Amino acid sequence: QVQPVETGGGSVQAGGSLRVSCKVSTSMYKGYCLGWARQTPGKEREVVAQYFAGGGGLSLYADSVKGRFTISQEDDKNTLQLQMDNLKPEDTARYYCVAASRLHSCTVRLRGPADFQYWGQGTQVTVSS
């Protein structure tokens, strides 16, 4: 499988919005557990959002972003988007699109970063106060 490719991100002031996109292969888009993880230097990686196309469009979110981040899909482009609203300085991180072939619990609970075997190169999101 080819690794995911992220685009978007950038810099914004607190309270603003940004969007990051992730393009994957057709088979990965339809049959893998997909998600977004982030990492800040000195901190552990954190999965913040998760989605499975075969799960009826159900998305899961970490408590830290729930109500502010939203996953949407462009099915014809095999692209997953993460809309980030009301951004906070603590959202500053490198955001990675991640994918896992193992689907267990993908629509039930957020999985840990180690559960995802495919990682994109990441894109930087910076939120200033």
75: confidence class by pLDDT, cuts 50, 70, 90 = confident
**Helix or strand or coil: residue 68?**
coil
**What's residue 104's pLDDT?**
84
Q: Of 43, 35, 46, which Cα lies nearest the Cα of 116?
A: 35
**Contact yes or no for 119/96 (Cβ under 8 A):** yes
Can you give the pLDDT at residue 64? Answer: 96
Element (H, E) at 30: helix 26-31
Confidence of residue 87 (pLDDT cuts 50, 70, 90): very high
Average pLDDT, the chain: 94
Look at residues 14, 52, 20 and name the one whose alpha carbon lies nearest to residue 37. 20
Q: Is the pLDDT of residue 72 over 90?
A: yes
- Tokens for 25, please give them: 């292969």
pLDDT at 49 over 80: yes
Residues pairing with 100 in the sheet: 33
pLDDT of residue 108: 92
pLDDT tens per residue across span 4-42: 999 999 999 999 999 999 999 999 999 999 999 999 988
Contact predicate 28/48, CB 8 Å: no
pLDDT digits (tens, 9 = 90+) for 96-126: 999 999 888 899 999 999 999 999 999 999 9
